[in-house]
Chain A
Amino acid sequence: MKRGFIAIALVTLGMLSYALHQAMVGAPMERTMGEVQRIFYYHVPSAWVAFLCFFVNFLASIWYLVKRSVKPDAIALACAEVGVVFCTIVLITGPLWAKPVWGIWWTWDARLTSTLVLWLIYISYLILRKYSSGGQTPVIAAALAIFGFVDVPLVYMSIRWFRTQHPQPVIGGGEGSGIHPGMFSALMWNFAAFTLFAAVLIYLRYRLEVVQQQVETAYADRALARDVRGAR
C-alpha cells in the first residue's frame, strides 16, 4: 500500500511538472491578452478540482446520513478541506488575471460573487467541524454540505444565465466557443495533473482523519476504563 502510494505520488509529480511545462511553454500565446492568459491553465483546472471535491463531499455527506459510519464522514471532511484549498487558488488567481485584462481586481458579477459565496459556505463547514464538539457535529455538517452544494451548479451556470464581466465558457459554450488545439492539450494535461494531485491530497487527509478518530476513541476508552476502576 505504502509503495503503491509512493508510486502514485511520483507519477503525480511528473504529471504536474509536464503540465506546468505545457502551460508555460507548450501552449501558444493568446493574441489579445498575451502571456498573462497562461493563468488560465491553473485557474480553470483548480476550479474544476474544487467542484469535483465539493461533489464528492456532497455524495459522502448523503452516505454518512444514511450509514452513520466513520468512512463517509472522513471522506466528506477530506474533500471539503482539499476543495477549499483549490477554491482559494481560484479566488486568488482570478483577480491576478483580471487586473491586467479588465483593469480591476474584482467586480461583483454573478460568477465571482457566487464563487466567493461557495468558498464561504465550505469555510463555515470546516469551522463547524473544527470548533463544534457536540456528538451531532458530523450530522449538522453533512446537512450543511448537502444544502451548500446547491451553489456549485449556480457557480457553473452563472456565466450562461447572467450577463457577467467574467468571460463566457470556452469549452462547451455553444457557437463561437472553443480554443486552439495546443491550448486545449495544455489545459487537459493540467486538468489531469491537478485531479490526480487532489486525489493524493484527499487520500492523505482521509488517512489523517481516520487515525485521528481512532486515537480519540482510544483516549475516550482509556478515560472510561479509569472511571470504572475509580468507581470500584
Chain B
Amino acid sequence: MTYLYAAYVVTWVIHILYLLYLTRRFARLRDEVKELEQGK
C-alpha cells in the first residue's frame, strides 16, 4: 500500500506544484502589464 499511496501522492504533488508555478507566473505578468500601463 505504501507504493500505491506514494504514486498517487507524487502525482498530485507534481500537479499542484505546476499549478502554483502557473499562478505565480500569471501574477508576475499581471504586475508587468500594470507597470506598462502606468508607463504609457
Contact = CB atoms under 8 A, between A and B. Distances in A.
Given A85-B15, A85-B18, A201-B18, A35 B7 contact: no
Contacts of A38: 4
A114 B36 CA distance: 45
Given A39-B3, A219-B36, A96 B18 contact: no
A100 B18 CA distance: 28
A208 interface: yes
Contacts of B7: 39, 42-43, 92-93, 96-97
A67 to B, nearest CB: 25
B36 A218 contact: yes
- Pick from B1, B4, B8, B10 the residue with the most CB of A within 10 Å: B4
Interface string B5-24: 01110110011001100100
Contacts of A211: 29, 33
Nearest to A221: B36
A93 B10 contact: yes
Contacts of B11: 42, 46, 89, 92-93
Given A89-B11, A89-B14, A212-B29, A96 B22 contact: no
Contacts of B25: 208
Q: How large is the interface on A (under 10, 10 to 19, 20 to 34, 35 or more residues)?
A: 20 to 34
Interface string A19-46: 0100010000000000110110011001
Interface SS majority for chain B: helix
B29 A35 contact: no
A89 B33 CA distance: 34
Contact of A99 (B3, B22, B26, B33): B3
A97 B29 CA distance: 39
A78 to B, nearest CB: 10
Interface string A92-129: 11001101100000000000000000000000000000
